[in-house]
Amino acid sequence: MKFSVTTPIYYINGDPHIGHAYASVAADIIARFKRLDGFNVHFCTGTDEHGVKVARSAEKAGLEPQKFCDLMSQKFRDMSAAVNLSYDDFIRTTEARHIKSAQAFWKLLEKDVYKSSYSGWYSARDEEYIAESDLVDGKAPSGAPVEWMEEESYFFRLSAYQDKLLEYYEKNPDFIAPVSRRNEVISFVKSGLKDLSISRSKFSWGVPVPNADGHVMYVWVDALANYLTSFGFPEKDVSEDMANCVHIVGKEILRFHAVYWPAFLMSAGISPPKRIFAHGWWTCDGQKMSKSVGNVVDPFEIIKKYGLDQMRFFLFREVRFGEDGDFSEESLKNRVLYDLANDLGNLVQRVLAFIQKRDGNFTTNYDFSDAEKALFANSRNLLNKTRPLIDKQDLNGVLNAIWELISETNKFVNDMKPWELAKTDVTRLNAVLTALCESIRSVAFGIAPFMPDTARKVFDFINAEGKSFAEIEENFADQKLPTPTPLFPKEKAVL
């Protein structure tokens, strides 16, 4: 079973920030879940290195464009390592393989391409053409400055795909998510599509257009083709890969992915992706993040201060994926204290430390009473709850389901009082501890895509491989468990 997930390839004119980490970790969570579920996963990320904005940033830095790209791309590779991405491919659009792929893709579009000239407004910061009617106080809708541009250009007949796109959206209602974003895209397409300028002739930092001296590709044609490059295009037929692919993008680039990209693919005879999921933006303490304000959240600093798994957890526990969210260190600290240390950490520690007090010997007993049966059933059912949520990219919903089980399990400990059963009924105690360890294992698998290092510790505590969801169906054997250690700082674990 094939499954693919991609991040946007990140534009390298600035340093990585929390928004980049957010999209990357979201894709990583989905990729890790699918691998545990037996899928053959391809997870791609990378950097977008062409365009006028990069050329100007390189000039400002006093560097040749390629040297500037090498320097900046490495920062995003470092971020990928820092947030523990399990990617299969890191693509750079200045690589020879990508230039070959983008040029081959262009040739497939040529039946819908013609030469003309462009006169109009252009936002270098957004790398986007802006219609006069879309200007807001003389600026792009994003607030970016615009400049008047006149140049010879090749155009793609986007207007010819208006009805085809609307028909595709209707037949594939899950193609764009969340629903609110889908409605925005449909409204935009219904308002009328104009042909799109897809080459530039007044600067040279881009992929050369085949057989068209002096023209380089519009950066978005080049950038979108990265997904094909990663799948092995043009040497390989990539339609199956694309048809099973989920693109994770920021809402600000949804139009490029949900309108231009499927139109290009239709023209080229390649299947559009399975879904395009647009996530929201993060503010910081109620304010839009801005370098001038000085409130841009640095993921490296957050990881250093609070821990990697803690940050990964917070980003998807705090806000429903797809909606805007507000980042505050106070909220993060509360999540770490209450959700992680008190709920999860204390559960694992109190149960496994109790077993350790009995010389670490774990004697199973699956002759359950109704109470153990209920916990066991809900533990085994966690995967059935989370699978459809992952397939909808409802990452917050997955964590909610896991924490429902954690809450139930903590209540079970308090109700069953194993410390008293140890004095009166060892046989029943073994059944209670068996049900608890089943729950802990299911919880560990649940959190593994979000907090892989934490999950690995829990798997080691219970002698589990932790490599496949299939392990959840296996019963525990009698064994000696290792000594657990607290999962999170400041944890007070007492049973």
In three-state secondary structure terms, 50 is coil
3-class DSSP string for 415-483:
HHCHHHHHHHCHHHHHHHHHHHHHHHHHHHHHHCCCCHHHHHHHHHHCCCCCCCHHHHHCCCCCEECCC
pLDDT digits (tens, 9 = 90+) for 140-154: 888 889 889 888 999
Torsion angle of alpha carbons 385, 313, 257, 14, nearest 10°?
-170
Half-sphere exposure of 255 (CA within 13 A, CB side): 13
Both structure tokens of 287: 């304010």
Both structure tokens of 94: 């200045």
One-letter identity of residue 438: E
Check whether domain 328-480 has CATH 1.10.730.10, yes or no: yes
pLDDT averaged over 10-residue windows placed end to end, the chain, 495 residues: 96 90 97 98 98 92 96 97 98 98 98 92 83 86 87 96 98 97 96 95 93 94 98 96 97 96 98 96 75 72 93 94 89 94 96 93 96 98 98 98 98 96 95 98 98 98 97 96 87 40
- List, in sequence order, the alpha helices (H) in 83-153: 96-109
User: What DSSP line would sit under 317-329, residue for residue?
Assistant: HSS-BTB-EEE-H
In three-state secondary structure terms, 153 is strand
Task: Count the Cβ atoms, other than its own, within 10 Å of residue 490.
Answer: 10
How many residues appear in the chain?
Answer: 495
Q: What residue ranges do the domains of the chain occupy?
A: 328-480
Q: How big is the CA angle at 356 (ends 424 and 455), to the nearest 5 degrees?
A: 120
Q: What are phi and psi of 284, to 5 degrees?
A: -130, 115
pLDDT digits (tens, 9 = 90+) for 179-223: 999 999 999 999 999 999 999 998 899 999 999 999 999 999 999
Angstrom distance (rounded) from CA 316 to CA 85: 15
Q: How big is the CA angle at 352 (ends 349 and 354), to the nearest 5 degrees?
A: 100
Residue bearing tokens 């392990």: 471
